[in-house]
Structures are given as structure tokens and as C-alpha cells.
Amino acid sequence: MRMTVLASGSKGNSTVIASAGTTLLVDAGLSCRELLKRMKLANEDPAALSAILITHEHQDHIAGLATLARRLRIPVYITEPTHRAWVRMVTPRTTMTYAKWLDQVRTEKAATNGVPHVREATVGIATDPGAPHLASEMWEGPTTTPGAPAQTMPVSTSCVGGDAVELSAAADPDEADAPQESKPSPAHLPSIQYFHSGSNFSIGDISITPFTIPHDAADPCGFVFASRSEAVRMAIATDLGYMPPNVKRALQRVDVLLLESNHDLEMLKDGPYPWAVKQRVLSRVGHLSNHATAEFLAHDYDGGATYIVLGHLSEQNNAPELALFAAEQAIAGRMSLLGNRILLATQSAPLPSISV
Ligand SMILES: [Zn+2]
Ligand SMILES: [Zn+2]
């Protein structure tokens, strides 16, 4: 099996997992264009992808999802709560210009012989300023505009959620040039497959075990991937506030482990983030610190992996050297040429493929 980390960090996450016959993409947190570019750089063939799997709906994990899935016409494996949260995030609220509203009133008036069935409703629309930001984790890259200030205008209630919907700009720059009439709904995916954390499923010859992780998203998960014979196992566990027993169990007997080492506690405390964001990162639904990851590696990890890849490093609140040092200290004497080699995944470029 092969793992290729295309990007890891708060500006975007995406990893290729491949067996002899099946290639999967875990998360699509960069633009479609950037994902394709990085696959090419890493010698991964986008045409070989069988599916995209999503860990959770934060922007740094789904930014290029819709465009990539549509372009490659491949199914998206996602949990139902995550899918619903994502649809709410990418679906613009209905908006209506005043001119359009007047038009509509006139049409209705004509249709009902001069008795307009129009109720004046005051609706705050086109505003969901919290959603994309709350749902992102210190998303520092380009994103869709979170929305203009609330507009208050009289709206025929029959139009809210009806046909008179103006979609905002496409969420992905790759689709910005598409002709207006052919632009699909931002939430359109060619095929959706729901899975449940804790329930195994297979795609091609890869067996997948999703497991719940503690993180402030609708239904976040990590994954264990195994070849059909179970001879090789790879795991991805990033975006978790702490290491609960189910995660510790899931990460046993793996050959390659992509594990979060998000921040250095001192750097975070002294760093530039606002207090509330610091609290969120530090919380039990935030991110694993170098210290927490080291604690796991020292006390709960079975020492059996060939490679440990440290990922989702904060650019603001961590230094690669600190993350690496903490993990190496924790592994102590167990590192060798054959086992427990520690690598650092980066935000800016793909990591060379790891094959075991
Ligand atoms: Zn997240
Ligand atoms: Zn993340």
C-alpha cells in the first residue's frame, strides 16, 4: 500500500491512499486545481481515483471537494451529519433583489385577479457570517465570502426557498468561469455514499474502518485503511482535541500512521490568536498538541509502525523542529531504519509517497 500526503495543515489537507488496485483520496482541502497539480507533482494519477473520503466538513478538508468530485465523476464517502453540515455551508441563502420582488408581486397580482397573496415578511437573508468561519479551523486561505450584512426587505414568503434564488459565486475558483446557466448547485455531487463511524466498509480491495474523533465538527472521524489480507494497515488521525480510548485502539497495529501534532503549547499561549481561538484549539474538541501526541507515542502506541507522519502542524503556533523533537523523544530508543521513522507532512508541498 501507498500513502501520499498532498498537503497537511490548517490551509488544506489531502492524502492519497492506494493499494494495488484501488486509489482513494482522503479529504480535498485545497482547490481542485491545486489538488490536481499536487497529484501530478507526487506522481499520483487523478484518473486512478476511485473515491473521495471526507473526515469532516471544515474548510481545510473540503475546499475543493465538489469541483474535484464533479470533474472526476467519482463518489464521495461521507457521514450523513457531515454531508448535511457541508450542504448547509455551501448552499447560499436565498436572496431577492427589490426589483425582482416587485416583479413577483405584479405577477402574483395578475394571477389572482388583483388580490395579491403577499405577506410582508422581514427576513434577514444572504447572511450566514458565522458558518464558514465557525466551521473552519483558522482557515487562512481563500474562502467564499461569508456574506454581506443582513439585508432586510419585504419578501413574498412563497419565494423563500422557491425558484427565485440567486446563487452566489461558485465556491471554487475553478468554476468561476463556467457559464451562469450551466453552473451546478454548489452542493451537487455526482454520487454520495454514507458511512458510519465504527462500521467497516470496502472500496475496491481496500477495507476501511472509520472511527469517531473528538473535534468541533458535525461528525468527525479518522480512518484505518487495510489491504484485503490485512497485511498492511495505514491510519489517519488529525483534528482531534485529545486521544480517547477508541482512537488509541484504532491506531494499534498500523504500518503507517499520519498523526496530528498541531501546536506547541507555549507558542500557542504566547501566539497571536485571539483568546477564544486559543481556548478552542486547546479544548477537548480542538487539536492535539506536540505534548499530547508525544504522550500517546510514549505510553499508548505499540511501536509497530514503519513510518509515523506528523501532520496538521500549525504554521503560527508550531515549529517543525519542536514537533519532531517531541515525537523523537517520545519514541526514544524505538526508532530504527526499519521502524518508527518519523516524517513531517507540510502545508506547502506533497510528501514523497510512502510505500509499505
Ligand atoms: Zn477540523
Ligand atoms: Zn483540519
Residue 168 Cα to ligand 1 middle (Å): 25
pTM of the full structure: 0.78
Residue 20 Cα to ligand 1 middle (Å): 30
Q: How many residues does the chain have?
A: 356
Is the separation of the CB atoms in 290 and 311 below 8 Å? no
Ranges of each domain in the chain? 2-87+188-355, 93-166
Q: Could you read off the pLDDT of 86-96 as tens digits, one per residue?
A: 999 998 776 66
Structure confidence at residue 167 as a pLDDT band (50, 70, 90): very low
Mean pLDDT value of segment 256-261: 98
Query: Is a pLDDT exceeding 80 seen at residue 34?
Result: yes
Highest mean pLDDT among 126-130, 172-176, 223-227: 223-227
Q: Could you read off the pLDDT of 276-329 as tens digits, one per residue?
A: 999 999 999 999 999 999 999 999 999 999 999 999 999 999 999 999 999 999
Query: Is a pLDDT exceeding 70 seen at residue 162?
Result: no
Residue 103 Cα to ligand 2 middle (Å): 45
Tell me how far apart the alpha carbons of residues 108 and 100 are, in angstroms, rounded to a whole number: 12
Structure confidence at residue 334 as a pLDDT band (50, 70, 90): confident
Burial of 353 (0-12, 13-18, 19+ CB in 10 A): middle
Residue 188 Cα to ligand 2 middle (Å): 23
Tell me how far apart the alpha carbons of residues 123 and 95 are, in angstroms, rounded to a whole number: 10
Q: What is the pLDDT of residue 128?
A: 35
Residue 238 Cα to ligand 2 middle (Å): 7
Mean pLDDT value of segment 244-252: 98
Q: What is the pLDDT of residue 174?
A: 54
Residue 59 Cα to ligand 2 middle (Å): 8
Query: Is a pLDDT exceeding 50 seen at residue 263?
Result: yes
Tell me how far apart the alpha carbons of residues 216 and 284 are, in angstroms, rounded to a whole number: 9
Residue 330 Cα to ligand 2 middle (Å): 24
Nearest to 9 by CA among 251, 258, 214, 218: 258
Is the separation of the CB atoms in 14 and 25 below 8 Å? yes
Residue 97 Cα to ligand 1 middle (Å): 35
Residue 10 Cα to ligand 2 middle (Å): 5
Residue 145 Cα to ligand 1 middle (Å): 19
Query: Which residues have a Cβ under 8 Å from the Cβ of 89 and sit 6 or more positions away?
Result: 57, 131, 132, 135
Q: What is the pLDDT of residue 185?
A: 86
Residue 58 Cα to ligand 1 middle (Å): 5
Highest mean pLDDT among 109-123, 179-193, 290-304, 329-343: 290-304
Query: Which residues have a Cβ under 8 Å from the Cβ of 221 and sit 6 or more positions away?
Result: 55, 56, 79, 197, 210, 211, 212, 213
Query: Is a pLDDT exceeding 80 seen at residue 64?
Result: yes
Query: Is a pLDDT exceeding 50 seen at residue 104?
Result: yes
Radius of gyration of the chain (CA): 23
Q: Does domain 2-87+188-355 have CATH number 3.60.15.10?
A: yes
Structure confidence at residue 182 as a pLDDT band (50, 70, 90): low
